[in-house]
Amino acid sequence: MSKTPLIIALDFPTAQKALAFVQPLDAQRYRVKVGLELFTREGPALIEALHRLGFDVFLDLKFHDIPNTVARACASAAELGVWMLNVHALGGRDMLLAAREAIEAYQPRPLLIAVSILTSLEQSDLYATGLHGTLEENVLRLARLVKANQLDGLVCSPHELTAIKRTMDKDDPFVLVTPGIRPVGSESHDQKRIMTPKEALDLGATYLVLGRPVTQADAPQAVLAAIEASLQ
């Protein structure tokens, strides 16, 4: 059975809870994401445990530091055998280039993507941080920077998908990962630029990140089945 475009964000406080959640899931069908909270507490042992269960892991630590530090961090992540990892595009050209070069020798090489503008931010937040221009203008500028440094893709809000796809060739393999995905009827929580799974996929998303609407559901597998049915 082929994998779905769904990536399940394991936003749990402990490895015990995360591993208990994934036990009923089909590792041949779903990929999982490990973020800052869980990795800070549990470390590489959790990644190894998920690999033993057969899951592809997206290590979502959003590295953003001086080029040498980020390069070493990316190499360490590659040594863990993760399927995908990310950095912040705002780290700039030298940092992006160092990150890419640090993982080139690893086989299989993990996908390296960059975060553009967090989906928890809106226009007023950009102005407060000194970033001028619209959200879309900032995301497009960062997308061009990421592509110029030959990273594999971008993390962006589903609301910027159309604009990004317009700038690419039809067969461009550039990966677009969209958080802020909420099934119909779900709460938005702290996400501000959200969209349903079907809408995001139709606009060109490659992978959809789903967190609390699935992990906090009374029947997670039923929610996943409903989402997959909506994508057909």
Q: Which residues are catalytic?
A: 60, 62, 65
As a whole number of angstroms, the distance between CA 34 and CA 57 comes to: 7
Element (H, E) at 221: helix 220-231
Task: Please name the amino acid found at residue 14.
Answer: T
Indicate the annotated binding residues for substrate.
Answer: 11, 33, 60-69, 119, 182, 191, 211-212
Residues 6+ apart with CB under 8 A from 18: 10, 12, 34, 38, 42, 46
Neighbouring C-beta atoms of residue 181, cutoff 10 Å: 30
As a whole number of angstroms, the distance between CA 115 and CA 62 comes to: 7
DSSP string across 108-154: SPPEEEEE-S-TT--HHHHHHTT--S-HHHHHHHHHHHHHHTT-SEE
φ, ψ of residue 64 in degrees (nearest 5) = -155, 100
As a whole number of angstroms, the distance between CA 201 and CA 183 comes to: 12
Indicate the annotated binding residues.
Answer: 11, 33, 60-69, 119, 182, 191, 211-212
As a whole number of angstroms, the distance between CA 146 and CA 144 comes to: 5
